[in-house]
Amino acid sequence: MTATQKILELNAFDMDDTGCLDPATAALVARRKRTFGPTSMLFYERPLNLVRGEGVWLIDADGSRYLDAYNNVPSVGHCHPRVVEAVNRQMATLNTHSRYLTDIVYTYSERLLATYPAALSNIVYTCTGSEGVDLALRIARTATGGEGLIATANAYHGNTAAVTEVSPSSATTQARSPNVFLVAAPDTYRQNAAEAVARFNADVKAAIAAMQAHGINLAAFIADSILSSDGVYPAVPGYLKETADIVRAAGGLYIADEVQPGFGRTGEAMWGFLRHGLTPDLVVMGKPMGNGFPIGGVVVKPDLLEVFGSQNGYFNTFGGNPVAAAAGLAVLETIEAEYLQENARTTGAYLAERLAALSGRHEAIGDVRNAGLYVGVEIVKDQTSREPDEVATTAIVNGMRERNVLIGTAGKFGNVLKIRPPLCFNRDNADTLAAALSDALAAHSDRQRR
């Protein structure tokens, strides 16, 4: 895949196409281009110039309100007062690193670890999911002595040099590392679900065999349990338990990337791996952990951390600072106080139902898949051929933006609508989204027919 194709799929603004913009937006684009360079990407054919956020809403410089069904970082809602207040109080009191004792950091750690299976009892804080995956790979490689990694074929796990190796969905001309082996996500839309997941686990076995044939020892398998960037495949929970068994039988570790499914988004569980009835060896958290305050972390079995720690110093300057802990604690409290996991389950189901109901009227809707408030809608040329339609997908995402609803794209063909709103999204919001999607689909078909 070329970078240009990738940019098309990712729904990028053409930085030279400023003619369609109002003067204020065009001026901001020019300032961005001067400071960030021309290759830094903006979303949408007409980029958004944002000035405010609250709950599920983003507001632009003209006062227009956009229903945010894309952003999973402000997971408890944009500018949630409880998080804002907690961060402000701690910022004004103490903000330092983890070489000193600070009570709030252990209070948060205990509260967070209590949501995990007992075997996962240690945490190392980072500032981002990328740093977390980078560290998890280092721990896995040190603890196993292996170098080999297995990831899904269109995974995204982050942006460091090491993590980019297991992030094939990152557009890059860099040659793939010989230590990384890829397996295709189970395509539960084009295959029988049971066959798709059986094929997936057969592929994992084959990857291990190929690795061993090259003299490479397995360190770890890594996956996001709803395979977000592979195209959102939450269905058939349970098969990743078998994957973990296969990986462990070959001496490898199981790394769960919970940056996307974690913190209640799937509705059924606090963590995506719990839906599969498995206990990973390492878990990485990021994005929604501080509702936008930069915090990430690795939860790990103590024996693995001890092996790593006895052989390596690891210090993260901002990792586990008291302000990050205050933000994280406020997020956990809000998820609980506002029943956000339960809301993700019920509103997610309602939204998926409303979107599935559109498939009768709209031939382009091939499949609607969800776990809680992570919804993927597969856009196809027609429901018989099931042929991916990435051009329509980009048109629909932009059509939604023109109708003041923000969503994105995913999947190896870039033809899956990625819908993952803040967890305070309600039924009214779901109705608004469904109506806008129906309208955008109809407008797109009309244009096609003309």
Shortest Å, Cβ 94 to its own copies = 5
User: Which of these segments, 84-92, 204-212, 235-243, 358-366, binds its own copies (CB under 8 A)?
Assistant: 84-92
How far is Cα 280 from Cα 48, in angstroms, rounded to an integer?
39
Query: What sign results for the dihedral spanned by CA atoms 79, 315, 248, 116?
Result: negative
**Residue selected from 45, 75, 76, 130 as contacting its own copies according to rule CB under 8 A:** 130
Distances (CA, A) of 433 to 158, 225, 297, 376: 29, 25, 33, 13
Phi-psi region of 339 (alpha: psi -120 to 50; beta: other; left: phi over 0): left
Calculate the CA dihedral of residues 438, 439, 445, 449 and round it to 10 degrees. 150
Write the CB contacts of 366 (distance below 8 Å, at least 6 apart in sequence). Answer: 189, 359, 378, 379, 380, 383, 386
User: Which of these segments, 126-134, 211-219, 346-354, 421-429, binds its own copies (CB under 8 A)?
Assistant: 126-134
Residue at 290: amino acid letter: G
**Residue selected from 8, 18, 97, 363 as contacting its own copies according to rule CB under 8 A:** 97
User: Which of these segments, 125-133, 196-204, 410-418, 429-437, binds its own copies (CB under 8 A)?
Assistant: 125-133
Residue at 139: amino acid letter: I
**Residue selected from 87, 120, 220, 437 as contacting its own copies according to rule CB under 8 A:** 87
Count the neighbouring beta carbons within 10 Å of the beta carbon of residue 19. Answer: 6
Q: Is 37 in the site for its own copies (CB under 8 A)?
A: yes
Q: What per-residue string of b and e applies to 265-290 under the rule 16 or more CB within 10 Å gives b? A: bbbbbbbbbbbbebbbbbbbbbbbbb
Shortest Å, Cβ 178 to its own copies = 15
Q: Is 216 in the site for its own copies (CB under 8 A)?
A: no
Residues 147-176 within binding reach of its own copies (CB under 8 A): 159-162, 164, 170-174
Residue at 162: amino acid letter: A
How far is Cα 266 from Cα 251, in angstroms, rounded to an integer?
30
Q: Is 352 in the site for its own copies (CB under 8 A)?
A: no
Closest to 102 (Cα-Cα) out of 323, 331, 314: 323
Query: What sign results for the dihedral spanned by CA atoms 13, 18, 19, 21?
Result: positive
Between 99 and 450, name the residue whose CB sits nearer to its own copies.
Answer: 99
Shortest Å, Cβ 339 to its own copies = 24
**Residue selected from 184, 236, 251, 309 as contacting its own copies according to rule CB under 8 A:** 309
Shortest Å, Cβ 86 to its own copies = 10
225 neighbors 272 (Cβ within 8 angstroms): yes
Between 178 and 277, name the residue whose CB sits nearer to its own copies.
Answer: 178
Between 35 and 384, name the residue whose CB sits nearer to its own copies.
Answer: 35
Pairing mode, strands 253-257 and 282-285: parallel
How far is Cα 355 from Cα 322, in angstroms, rounded to an integer?
42
User: Which of these segments, 79-87, 350-358, 369-377, 385-393, binds its own copies (CB under 8 A)?
Assistant: 79-87
Shortest Å, Cβ 85 to its own copies = 9
**Residue selected from 8, 18, 95, 443 as contacting its own copies according to rule CB under 8 A:** 95
DSSP state of 284: E
User: Binding pattern to its own copies, positions 46-75, x when CB under 8 A?
Assistant: -xxxxxxx----x------------x-xx-
Q: Is residue 428 within a helix (H) or strand (E), and if so which, with residue range?
A: helix 427-449
Between 144 and 164, name the residue whose CB sits nearer to its own copies.
Answer: 164
Q: Is 98 in the site for its own copies (CB under 8 A)?
A: yes
Shortest Å, Cβ 93 to its own copies = 6
What does 63-99 look like in DSSP terms, one character per residue?
A: --EEEE-S--SSTT-BT-HHHHHHHHHHHTT----TT
Residues 324-343 within binding reach of its own copies (CB under 8 A): 324
Shortest Å, Cβ 294 to its own copies = 4
**Residue selected from 34, 63, 213, 450 as contacting its own copies according to rule CB under 8 A:** 34
Structure tokens at 121: 């009892």
Q: Is 202 in the site for its own copies (CB under 8 A)?
A: no
Between 7 and 349, name the residue whose CB sits nearer to its own copies.
Answer: 7
**Residue selected from 123, 365, 375, 419 as contacting its own copies according to rule CB under 8 A:** 123
**Residue selected from 18, 32, 439, 445 as contacting its own copies according to rule CB under 8 A:** 32
How far is Cα 157 from Cα 260, in angstroms, rounded to an integer?
10
User: Which of these segments, 207-215, 275-283, 303-311, 427-435, binds its own copies (CB under 8 A)?
Assistant: 303-311
Between 171 and 356, name the residue whose CB sits nearer to its own copies.
Answer: 171
Shortest Å, Cβ 83 to its own copies = 8
Residues 265-294 within binding reach of its own copies (CB under 8 A): 286-287, 292-294
How far is Cα 86 from Cα 326, in angstroms, rounded to an integer?
6
